[in-house]
Chain A
Amino acid sequence: MSRKLRGSVWLSISYVLLAVIGVFSVYPALWVVMSSFRTGNSLFSETLIPTAFTLEHYANLFSKYDFARWYTNTLKIALTTTVIGTVLTLLPGYAFSIFRFTGRKTMMSTLMVLGLFPGFMSMIAVFILLNLLNLLNTHLAVILVYAAGAPLFFLFAKSYFDTIPKSLVEAARMDGAGHLSIFFRIVMPLSTPLIVYTALSIFAGSFTDFLFAKLVLRTPETKTLAVGLFDMISSRQATDFTSFAAGCVLIAVPITFLFILLQRLLTEGLTAGAEKG
């Protein structure tokens, strides 16, 4: 009896804890969503739920700021980067997992070590390089740099491909399938979680990166969402916080939605990487 009682007490405590963590997780997001509907433009508010609702700030984004253009720019960059970057991540992952060749380990460890370095540690150099190539202030530059960095994160892909039974690939080879048809017909269909995970992280990364974009994209026409939004509150001493909040909602909603939608695949992708480390 006492054990059972203890069990149910613990269960109630667990639920309380879960609820507290839930509030803790959701609160900042909720606060921003609420702020975006609040009248006025200051941070300060007596209550979490606004006393008067307004959509003015959302309208402002499109009239006062060039939000629509930022959005198209960002989508263009992020989608292109995702396609190129995913291919560039899957290829080395596949090569390192399936084939044994000279220089394989050296290349793998080099890539892994390089992957640890924050990309912008050498940002001045990349900047000068882009200048030499006459690519400053172009979207192509941003896409190139994002996509070129993607192969450094091949390890997830490699670990995932490692879990695909070798016998499958060998059997196909016996049947005379070429490298490409093995890759597209056998390996790819078995790797949906990996592909989704890779594409999603590259997409989210390039969709929300602001540091490099800010450095390279200098004119208002080329701005991305992250740069635009960042400038909105950093340059004006946070005078227009509520419009910023509305912008945040419009950026975060699609990304958050994607993540939640693909949660299961994400967990699979993450754990496949974790188990193999």
Chain B
Amino acid sequence: MQELIAKQSKSGAGKPYSTIATILSVLAMGLGQLYNRQFMKGIILLAVHAITLYTVIFKLPHAVWGLTTLGETQTQLKKVGRLYQQVMGDHSVFLMIEGLVTIFAVIILLWIYVLSIKDSYRTGKLREQGGVPNTFRQTVSFVLSYRFPYLILALPLAGVFFFTIMPIVFMILIAFTDYTSKNMPPAHLLNWAGFDAFRDIFQMKGWNTTFYKVTLWTFLWAILATLTGYFGGFGVALLVQQKRIRFKSFWRTLFILPYAIPMFVSMLILQNMFNGQFGPVNQYLELLGFNRIPWLSDPTWAKVTLVIANFWVSFPVSMLMIIGIMSTIPKDMYEAADIDGASSFQKTRLITFPSVMYSMAPLLIMSFVGNMNNFNVIFLLTNGNPVNSDLQFAGDTDILITWLFKLSMEYGQYSYSSVIGIIIFIILSVFAIWNVRRTKAFKEDTSS
């Protein structure tokens, strides 16, 4: 046996398998593998090579042209015979998306190319040392057992790529064009406008005041919404979990109701309840001898209403979570505190509160971020209203995300809305990255 290996390595030595295989692979994917007698793999890679060549030669130039010019022929009326007919020109948006897809595909293909070169080099080296290259079946079973995570991740990641990453990249590109409802493909061609939209939002009068006002309210809103929801939930959790309270699960079930009702239903209901003229809230206020309150039509009251409504839908979740965490606090800590004669207030302040805060802190940040983009509550309850004529396409209660929505869906200001999108993106990324870094799930990994 040992002789055999020695023989093999002797016959293998001297021959620069790795060099030849590498050169062949550089010439065309798969050739190196064929040379290494991995036929099946070689054939598959050759096919990939053919696809790559086809894409690079026939698709890439068009993609680059499309992305740089965004189309050259305008859709126009042309005289065909005696009639004028509409002749379709280039569609800037399609060109952009097709261009993006092609470039992504080329990047992936090139990556496979690099991998195949590395692979043939490694297999060549293995042969030089007298090893036998894997057969196709061995390769497949190697992939199945050692590359299993990649296999199960492929489908979810593909979905995320197509429906999340691509659209975001596309949105970023839109910010640098002159895309508005008045200048919209296919009737018009788009042009690259550079930083014009950014400059307008930060410097143009009207746009910049709107931007600052909306941003300020976005932050204020997120802080208020998060704190009320969290501490409200905390308070209710403490109340329900008291030792002497009976029917705990009955109370919990009762309080979960706002969370269980679908968001758009409950917001539309609240919108009606707070209706200034007919809503029951004002009816009751009147019965009690108070004045009616312009819940949704006064800028300040509308903001208050939003916070109340959000509190109503968000306290159950934090209550549930806090109850869960409270149940994990060791009982003996409370017993020890009892022996020391601590009052229940002291126990809450010194044991419950710190334990819950420790677990909830990262989630609080997440819910702050979530509230910054709490589209549903604002869109469904006030739709950003009351209208403010000083603001550009925004009402008094609009936060960045609803302003973005209005800009694009209602007013067709696509490039401006994309700029807002990018700004939200940047703000969120700061929080997200900071949060990801300090999440326990990640810390755990670094130690292992």
Contacts and interface: CB of A to CB of B under 8 A. Distances in A.
Interface in A241-277: 241, 244, 248, 251-252, 255-256, 258-260, 263, 266-268, 270-271, 274-277
B3 interface: no
A144 B163 CA distance: 9
Given A95-B149, A122-B167, A271 B278 contact: no
Q: Which of B261, B362, B401, B433 has the most CB of A within 10 A?
A: B261
What class of interface size applies to chain A in its complex with B? 35 or more
A79 interface: no
Interface string B288-328: 00000000000000000000000010001100110111011
Contacts of B421: 121-122
B261 A179 contact: no
A107 B432 contact: no
B61 to A, nearest CB: 20
Contacts of B428: 113, 116-117
B225 interface: no
Contacts of B409: 123, 215
Best-buried of B156, B249, B363 by chain A (most CB within 10 Å): B156
B275 interface: yes
Interface string B155-170: 1110110111111101
A155 B362 CA distance: 13
A29 B168 contact: no
A266 B258 CA distance: 15
A137 interface: no
Interface in B132-159: 144-145, 147-150, 152-153, 155-157, 159
A21 to B, nearest CB: 6
B159 A238 contact: no
Given A158-B441, A252-B262, A120 B163 contact: no
Contacts of B251: 18, 22
B320 A207 contact: no
B405 A95 contact: no
B324 A155 contact: no
B29 interface: no
B153 A124 contact: no
B153 A95 contact: yes
A81 to B, nearest CB: 12
Interface stretch (A50-58, A63-71, A86-94, A184-192): A86-94
Contacts of A25: 254-255, 257-258, 312, 316
A31 to B, nearest CB: 6
B270 A28 contact: yes
Q: SS class of chain A's interface: helix, strand, loop or mixed?
A: helix
B254 A275 contact: no
Nearest to B159: A148
B360 interface: yes
B160 A151 contact: yes
A90 to B, nearest CB: 9
Given A121-B404, A162-B444, A256 B436 contact: no
A255 B258 CA distance: 12
Given A43-B278, A94-B152, A121-B171, A21 B160 contact: no
Contacts of A7: 244
Contacts of A271: 320-321, 324-325, 327-328
Interface of B: 93-94, 97-98, 144-145, 147-150, 152-153, 155-157, 159-160, 162-168, 170-171, 174, 236, 239-240, 242, 244-245, 249, 251-266, 268-270, 272-273, 275, 278-280, 312, 316-317, 320-321, 323-325, 327-328, 359-360, 362-363, 366, 369-370, 373, 375-376, 379, 401, 404-405, 408-409, 414, 417, 421, 424-425, 428-429, 431-433, 435-436, 439-442, 444-445
